[in-house]
Amino acid sequence: MTTMSEDARKFDELLDLTRTLRGPGGCPWDRAQDFQTMRRYLLEEAYELLEAIDSHDRDGMLDELGDLLFIVLFYLVLAEEKGDFHPSDVIANTIAKMRRRHPHVFDSTTACNEREAFLSWESAKRKEKWARDGGSILDGLPSALPALTKARRLQERASSVGFDWKVVSGALSKLEEELGEFRTALAMETPEQIHAELGDVLFSLVNVARLLGLDPEAALQGTNAKFRRRFSHIEKHLAQSPHPLTLEEMDKIWDEVKRDEG
């Protein structure tokens, strides 16, 4: 286990390495990058880290965390070069923010469980936002967030002021209501209404997942992976079959794979 001084030394070494890459005599590719060109790499590295986490790949996490850290430091050096702020400013700002948003740790308030800690965080964040610009607690979520994740975060923020179901059965009833409205829209064959009602169904389903303590984005990613795995068996049969398979034959293969998986 490394000491805090060793961690700080290694952090400074990586920061200096990044400055060297950007400096005179450094790497031509690194020197050519800016805030916008690095955006795609930031997103790619974040998703590669998520994939390693979902795969429980500890070596992959070690590697991808390093790649993501490097991208963050690259942005810090870019800002430093422009005179916007220094890396130490970012660190100091983050330390102050984490202390403000954890009053149940660093102040007199308490949090007995995860739910209370989350509400304490959201309350502190809400107070900061109102003090700064008086905006909505729903403001500030990145536009690039996946829709399922954004829906969950919107619901969490509304929940922090008490706008929430007390039990999951309420959210399930709402989901059933939205499914009924979706069926009605389908029967009326109105594309715009079908589109809107589908969104309501998905939003309600996210609510159910949230109240059950589940991450809808992760759940759907898991189902995507399962679908790819099972469909690959159908593709093998398609490649080996002398004639096109019927839907019934493909369904049979799917059911066999599902049964084998347990």
Q: Which residue matches tokens 């309600």?
A: 204
Whether the pLDDT of residue 83 is over 80: the answer is yes
How do residues 113-148 score in pLDDT, each as one tens digit?
Answer: 887 887 777 777 777 766 666 667 788 788 878 899
Instruction: Report d(CA 133, CA 135) in Å as an integer.
Output: 5
- Percent above pLDDT 70 for the chain: 96
- Residue 216: the pLDDT is 92
Polymer length of the chain: 262
Whether the pLDDT of residue 252 is over 70: the answer is yes
Any idea which of 17-21, 22-26, 161-165 has the lowest mean pLDDT? 161-165
CB 34 within 8 A of CB 78: yes
- Residue 235: the pLDDT is 94
Q: Which residue matches tokens 């790497």?
A: 27
- What ranges in the chain are assigned the alpha helix state H? 4-22, 28-32, 39-54, 58-82, 87-100, 103-106, 114-132, 147-159, 168-188, 191-211, 216-240, 247-261
Which candidate, 132, 108, 136, 111, places its Cα nearest to that of 121?
111
- Assign domain 4-87 to its CATH architecture: Orthogonal Bundle (1.10)
What CATH topology corresponds to 136-214?
Helix Hairpins (1.10.287)
- Of residues 78 and 218, the one with the higher pLDDT is 78
Average pLDDT, the chain: 90
- Of residues 17 and 3, the one with the higher pLDDT is 17
Q: How many CA atoms lie within 13 A of 145 on its CB side?
A: 13
| 0.85 surpassed by pTM | no
